[in-house]
């Protein structure tokens, strides 16, 4: 029989991940092994993807708002040396659909 993480502990772990807490910190604070935290995160992510993929389809919208979020990994672009790797500016683009139908679904 496999060990099962109690529901309260699962909620704490997922909430902490959603808040941006590091996995090592969650491991220390919750007393849950990092492999368990990773597996729980993947399982919840797949569940969220399934729900979104099944509900939000074929939307017809009149308004779409686009925005971007900028960040960097290790260094800003202007400070990177020629021989450095795995450092760069990072852009994440976000689209928000403003639709009557979407609001009714949610």
pLDDT tens profile 7-54:
999 999 999 998 889 999 999 999 999 999 999 999 998 998 888 888
Enter the pTM of the model: 0.55
Residue 1 lies in a domain: no
Residue 2 lies in a domain: no
> Which domain covers residue 67, as residue numbers?
63-105
Q: How many helices (H) and strands (E) does the chain have?
A: 4, 2
Instruction: Output the pLDDT for position 33.
Output: 94
pLDDT band at 102; cut points 50, 70, 90: low
Across 44-48, 59-63, 67-71, 96-100, the highest mean pLDDT is recorded for 44-48
Task: Tell whether 36 and 67 lie within a shared domain.
Answer: no
The last residue of one of the domains, among 21, 37, 55, is 55
> Number of structural domains, the chain?
2
Tokens 């976000």 belong to residue:
94
Q: By the 8 A CB rule, do 94 and 68 touch?
A: yes
Report percent pLDDT > 70 for the chain: 80
């Amino acid at each position: 029989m496999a060990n099962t993480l109690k529901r309260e502990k699962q909620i704490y772990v997922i909430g902490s991940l959603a808040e941006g807490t590091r996995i090592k910190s969650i491991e220390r604070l919750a007393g849950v092994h990092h492999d368990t935290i990773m597996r729980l995160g993947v399982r919840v992510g797949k569940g969220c993807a399934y729900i979104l993929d099944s509900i939000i389809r074929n939307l017809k919208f009149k308004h779409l708002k686009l925005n971007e979020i900028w960040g960097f990994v290790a260094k800003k672009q202007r400070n990177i040396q020629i021989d450095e790797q795995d450092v760069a500016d990072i852009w994440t683009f976000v689209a928000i659909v403003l639709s009557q139908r979407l609001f009714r679904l949610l």
